[in-house]
Structure 1
C-alpha cells in the first residue's frame, strides 16, 4: 500500500512538470531579440601604405624580438657616466651569457664573510639612521 501511494505521488509530481503551465514551459524573453546587432565593419585605415620595394617581408621579421621591442622599447642609450663605469668594470671582457651561468648550481662561489652578507642584506635608506656596531671586548 505504501508503494502505491508513493508511486501515485511521484506520477502526480512528474505530470505537473510537463504539459501546460509548468515551471519549465513558461514564456521567456528572447535574449537575441532585445537589441539589434550592428554589422561587423572594419573601418578603413588610411595609415597603411603598400610596402616599398626591397624592404623585408613580414614573414622575415622575428616576432618575439618585435614583441619585446614593442613592450619594453629598444636598447636604451647609455649616458657618458654609465658608459665610463661599464668600460672601467671591463665591459669588453665580459663573458657573453654570464647571467645564465651565475644561477647555475655548478658555479663556484667564494665566501666573503658575514660583513659582506650584512652589507648586502641591509635595508635601503639614505643612511641617516645608521649606527656603527661596536664589537664586544
Structure 2
C-alpha cells in the first residue's frame, strides 16, 4: 500500500512538470523556422573568353611569386637558419633532384632482411603477430 502511494506521488510530480502553469519559457516555434535561401553567385557578364594566341593575363612567374608570398611571407631568414642551411650544403643542392630520385641508376641503401620481411608480410589484424628479439 505504501509503495503505491509513493509511486502515485512520484507520478503526480512528473506529470506536474508537463502542465502549463505560467512558468513556461518562451521557446521558438519550430514550425515557424524558415530555411535560408541558398547562396547564388550571379553570372558576371563583363567577362569575355580568352582569345587563342593572346598573352596570358597573369604570368606563371608572377603567380608563383604570389603563391610563395602567401605561404611563407617575406620575412628574411635568421642568421641561425642561414648558418644551418650553409652547413647542410643548401647552396649546392641540385634543383632537379626530384626527377632523378626515381631513376633506376640512383644508389640506394640496403635496409636488410627485416625491412623486406615487413613489406612482404601479409595483411592481417595483427592477432598472430609476434616479435623475436636477438640474444
TM-score of the superposed pair, with normalisation by structure 2: 0.31
